[in-house]
Structure 1
Amino acid sequence: MAEAQDDPLAAWTERLLRLGGGISPDDARAFVHDLYAYAQSTLDETRAEADLEREE
């Protein structure tokens, strides 16, 4: 459990593994990692746009 607290992807990987049978732990973790990276990138873009609008 301590590992899950240090790893933000662990809880979501475990949740995905419980939902989908036949998914390997490595594939589940890779999917969660990619989804997290995409969400973070989108959030960063949204924040940058909001900052730019505030400066104008």
Structure 2
Amino acid sequence: MLFIIKKLGDELDLIFSRKLSWGGNWSLGYALYWEYGTEEPFDFTYLMISFIL
């Protein structure tokens, strides 16, 4: 079986994470994504709150 992998772009992530006092975690992230063939990056910002049930 032969797989051909084509590069789609490059990504740089910056993530801040911290435990919450009531048992969860929060993460705040910022990502820059350069699509192959373009000079201007796409930027993404997100906030995630998670719990283990």
TM over 0.5: no
Write 1 or 2 for the structure with the bigger share of strand.
2
- TM-score normalised to structure 2 length: 0.23
Greater length-normalized contact order (CA 8 Å, ≥ 6 residues apart)? 2
Q: Who wins on radius of gyration, i.e. which is larger?
A: 2
TM-score by length of 1: 0.22
